[in-house]
Chains A and B, each alone.
Chain A
Amino acid sequence: MRKVASVAAVVAVIGLCAWIFQCMNGLQVTGMRDQSSWGLYITNFMFFVGLSAGGLIISSAPKVFKLKGFGNISKVAVLTSIVCTILAICFVVVDLGSPWNIWHLFVYGHFTSPLMWDLCVLTLYLVLSIVYLVMLRREDDAAGVSSKLRGMSIAAFLVAILVHSVTAWIFSLNVSRAFWNTSLMAPWFVASALVSGTALVLVVVVALRRAGKLRLEDENVQKMAFILGVFVAVDLFFLFCDVLTGAYGGAGDAYDAIIMVLAGPVAPFFWAEVILGVVCLVIAFKPRLRASANLCVVASICAILGVFCKRAQIIEDGFGNVNLTYPGVETGPAVHGADGAWQGIGSALAYWPTGLECLVVLGIIALGVAVFCFVYPKIGQDR
């Protein structure tokens, strides 16, 4: 674990340097432009809030509903959540054009903004999950669940649901983007959070078990894989509802947005999501396949990548599907400019990240790995 942590720390430092470079030169070093003003950073922000919320929900749900849990994964799951929350906040910070003005959020906070709501809920969520982890560490699961711990589980569970709903609202409350403006988005985000969060916890616990750092019965891995399958099924159901609703009209903004994911430039992300989801379903629901912990990890990785593909669609379709269809409108001022990277409305991807953005993202993820490796030995996980 030491070794992993040190390698991760080095990558994190490289990412930090990349971010400093970005601060000095401005966001022109990213692939974002006026037409597609959010990119990989915000994709990852959504993605990591989901990973975090999902992890916390599956670790607290058994206590909330007084069910039998998944063995001693609670603490690992909450730690994973905490790390993912910190990373999500990092992703917002690196996305800012003027990070040196970040204190304005606390001084001039404007509370009609869903971003402000998210900031409040994320902070509350981070504090709650840290307190929750400390409580879990104190009361070892063996002695049963005290009422105080149960109360805390309920609070953490509710705020975890809220945090990803608010993240969905950042997008879905905008009339400007047909692909976003749907009331389905908040419940759907919660479903996707359960998918990616459960999958991440599964990967982490199997890896820790392999490294001899965690004791976990095979039966619990299978149980998690099965429940992952259920979540993926719900997620795919929501996907189908969304596609059907958009496509059925046969014309209009919502239709254009859906066609763009079904058959337009964003299609690879859509179909990858569908295929990855189906692969995960097959593994999760076939007892013979599920019996192998390795295949469960494969299913989880498919699930995680599938959710990431959905997040990428939100950015690509949201910005790629322009409302005003005058020729040349999509070139935008100060943007793709003379190099002509754009070929016209909806015929190419609106955005593609630069190497530097990828470096920053890798750095942030590495930071998470390093923090996890550093804190894990301290949470009193029995092996």
Chain B
Amino acid sequence: MQYALAIDTKRCIGCNTCAVACKIENNLPDTMWWNRVLTVGGDHTDTPQGSFPHLSMSYITLSCQHCKNPACTKVCPVGATYKDSETGIVMQDYKKCIGCRYCMAACPYNGVRNFNWREPEYTFDFSQGSEDVPSLVKGTVSKCILCNHRVKKGLEPACVAACPERARTFGDIDDPNSAISKLLASRSNYQLLDEKGTNPSVRFLS
């Protein structure tokens, strides 16, 4: 089994709802984002690519790619980041992590692994997240775990459930009959940095 995300770049409007839903669900501290919306082309965020009048604008979302051949899990000296054999999700164990940040050096995708550089700080003095998310720990690495706590209960990850454009599809890509496999079979799609050989489970429909 390999849980995966398919993101429809034709549907995505760059509204950042998924990023915010993720932040709330996982009770992420101020300034930390596990999922971000990035503009394709353009010189700055939210600027079009191409030159007038041939302009176009599209977005991708960037979070842990839950690779089939992850670079991070191999290099972790204590096995604090590991591929869950049941779900294919790349997990993160805050209790085990020693904070060497080797996984961050080994991951080819920029900024998807987030280190807790300080004691997590929150604007609100109450927790916003789901009650079953573990608290973040100073001096350890954290990242998207595909809302493992929701998936276990049969729910979709928060970012998928929240997307107003229904641009995000979640499912098992090892099962040819799953909705996501059918969607990927019917549409052209790509992976980020496929040349690195990590075989990401996040696909972008184009």
Q: Cα distance A324–B77 when bound, in Å?
A: 26
| Cβ-neighbour of A113 out of B44, B102, B107, B108 (below 8 A) | B102
Distance of A217 from chain B, by nearest CB (Å)? 46
Q: Which residue of A lies closest to B82 (CB)?
A: A110
Stretch of A148-156, A160-168, A329-337 with 4 or more beta carbons under 8 angstroms from chain B: A329-337
Q: Which residue of B lies closest to A108 (CB)?
A: B78
Q: Chain A contacts of B171 at CB under 8 A?
A: none
Flag if A96 contacts B99 (CB, 8 Å).
Answer: yes
Flag if B99 contacts A323 (CB, 8 Å).
Answer: no
Contact with B along A27-50 (1 / 0, CB 8 A): 110001111011000000000000
Q: Which residue of B lies closest to A110 (CB)?
A: B79
The reply on B3 being an interface residue by CB < 8 A is no
Q: Is the interface of B mostly helix, strand, loop or mixed?
A: loop
| Cβ-neighbour of B114 out of A108, A115, A323, A334 (below 8 A) | A334
The reply on A63 being an interface residue by CB < 8 A is no
Interface size in chain A (residues, C-beta < 8 A): 52
Q: Cα distance A332–B74 when bound, in Å?
A: 23
| Cβ-neighbour of A98 out of B42, B97, B197 (below 8 A) | B97
Flag if A326 contacts B38 (CB, 8 Å).
Answer: yes
The reply on A112 being an interface residue by CB < 8 A is yes
The reply on B106 being an interface residue by CB < 8 A is yes
Distance of B68 from chain A, by nearest CB (Å)? 14
Q: Which residues of chain A (320-353) have a CB below 8 Å from chain B? A: 322-324, 326-335, 337
Q: Which residue of B lies closest to A26 (CB)?
A: B118
Distance of B189 from chain A, by nearest CB (Å)? 17
Stretch of B28-36, B147-155, B158-166, B177-185 with 4 or more beta carbons under 8 angstroms from chain A: B28-36
| Cβ-neighbour of A324 out of B42, B113, B193, B197 (below 8 A) | B193
Q: Chain A contacts of B132 at CB under 8 A?
A: none
The reply on A268 being an interface residue by CB < 8 A is no
Given contact pairs A26-B138, A101-B97, A174 touches B106 in the complex (Cβ within 8 A):
yes
- B residues contacting A by CB (< 8 A) are 29, 31-34, 36, 38-40, 42-45, 47, 60, 62, 71, 74-80, 96-102, 104-111, 113-119, 137-141, 192-193, 196-198
Q: Supply 16 A–B pairs (Cβ within 8 Å), ascending by A.
A: A27-B139, A28-B117, A97-B101, A97-B140, A97-B141, A98-B97, A105-B78, A105-B98, A112-B74, A113-B74, A113-B76, A175-B198, A327-B45, A328-B38, A333-B114, A335-B111
